Amino acid sequence: MKKYPISQILMMFLFCFAISLLLPQPACAQEGGMVEALTVVPGKAGFCPGKGKSMQIKAQVNTNGAAATIRIRIYNNKGKYIFQKKYKASLGGYIEYKWNGKPGKKNKAKASYKKYAKKGKYTIEVCVIPQDPSLPVSTKSISFKITSQDNIKGIPMLTGDAEVDYMAEQICKEAKIKDSLSDDEKVKRIYHWMTVNQKHVHYNGSGAYQTYFNLASSKKKIKAYRKKTDNLMASGELTYSYDYDMIRRKWCMERRLGVCTDNAAIFKILCNHVGVEAGICSGYYLNRNGTKPPHSWNYAVVGGVTYYYDVDVEIQNYGKGQGDYYWYRKTRAEAERTHKFVSVK
């Protein structure tokens, strides 16, 4: 075996070390770094996937101007991701994503993308992968749990928008709804309140209409109410849906008016607000003259049974002497006599 002088070995070592400095270095993941903040809501109570529900993921990413791929992954308790979302060629900033609770079509856990994720513990990871390989990969993660519908049955589901939820709370107080009431009585009082107070109006967004809430002067009350609901959410006593289709009805709630889609959305907001599962049905109304105008109405689950409610038609006909509760709590067969169902959500 040939022996090399110590000086020659030292020279070879220095040469190899110098070459290594010139080669691109593999990026090593570091906790934090470019991912400055990561929050997930709902929090301690867990997330219960379902129609119209989503879990909000918020992250603040600072790449210092370097182009990077930003990746959101949701891992199960075995360390395999069930969902992935990528933002390519991003320069960072505020990232917000609403996850509906279903796995991605391509996921390492081989979970069905057609079904909601199973109950259990999960981890959300936000990862920043710079295009420049010499820059480090940054990650931040947070754990959460997915719970079942049984665990949150009867728990109020608010929209997550402080102003909408504040108005819903005031309306429910005006309708004299108490926690001690049955779900059927809660829905009945909401239905009656809307029949008497809400109007069917084909409005112009720039038009002048009477407002029933002064949100600008109620900022302190709204802020205090939001703090209260955040605490209740953290302790598992309520949850947020962050459903934008509901939140955008704020303008109509302030003025107590709207068309069928607005009134159906407000009915859902109020029912969910008091812990009653409710949703929106869309399709056509079957008039006696044979016409079939597009229409929206509601369902609500009372005593484990799904019933159907058309508060908008009730509103339109209440002043004509039709009477209250005419379209209240119908079975599917009864509803289909005058309603053509296309979608239910």
Residue in this structure with the two tokens 């719970």, named with its chain if needed: 147
pLDDT digits (tens, 9 = 90+) for 111-143: 999 899 988 899 999 999 999 989 999 999 998
Q: Which pLDDT does position 28 carry in this prediction?
A: 38
User: Which residue type, as a one-letter code, is found at position 187?
Assistant: V
What are the tens digits of pLDDT across the range 210-224? 999 999 999 999 999
Considering the segment(s) 31-151 as one domain, its CATH architecture is Sandwich (2.60)
Alpha-carbon span 285 to 297, nearest angstrom: 10
Give 222-257 pLDDT, tens digit per residue. Answer: 999 999 999 888 777 888 888 889 999 999 999 999
The mean per-residue pLDDT over the stretch 174-178 comes to 95
Check pLDDT > 60 for residue 3: no
Q: What is the pLDDT of residue 252?
A: 95
Q: Is the whole model's pTM more than 0.75, yes or no?
A: no
pLDDT at 11 > cutoff 80: no
Mean pLDDT, the chain, whole residue set:
86
Give 97 or 318, the one with higher predicted confidence. Answer: 97
Average of per-residue pLDDT across 47-63: 81
Write down the pLDDT at residue 39: 81
| Average confidence (pLDDT) over 165-188 | 95
The pLDDT assigned to 122 comes to: 94
Structure tokens at 107: 């996921």
pLDDT at 153 over 70: no
For residue 214, what are its two tokens? Answer: 């002064």
Question: Mapping DSSP to helix (H, G, I), strand (E, B) and coil, where does residue 266 land?
Answer: helix
The residue ranges of every structural domain in the chain are 31-151, 153-344
Q: Please, which residues have CB within 8 angstroms of residue 279's CB and are 6 or more apart in sequence? A: 51, 52, 268, 298, 299, 344, 345
Beta strands in the chain (DSSP E): 29-31, 35-41, 55-62, 68-75, 81-90, 92-99, 120-130, 137-146, 157-158, 199-200, 239-240, 257-258, 278-285, 294-302, 305-309, 339-344
Architecture field, domain 153-344:
Roll (3.10)
Q: Are strands 199-200 and 257-258 parallel, antiparallel or unpaired?
A: parallel
CA distance 128 to 67: 10
Predicted local distance difference test score (pLDDT) of residue 247: 94
pLDDT in tens, 293-310: 999 999 999 988 999 999
Q: How confident is the model at residue 343 (pLDDT cuts 50, 70, 90)?
A: very high
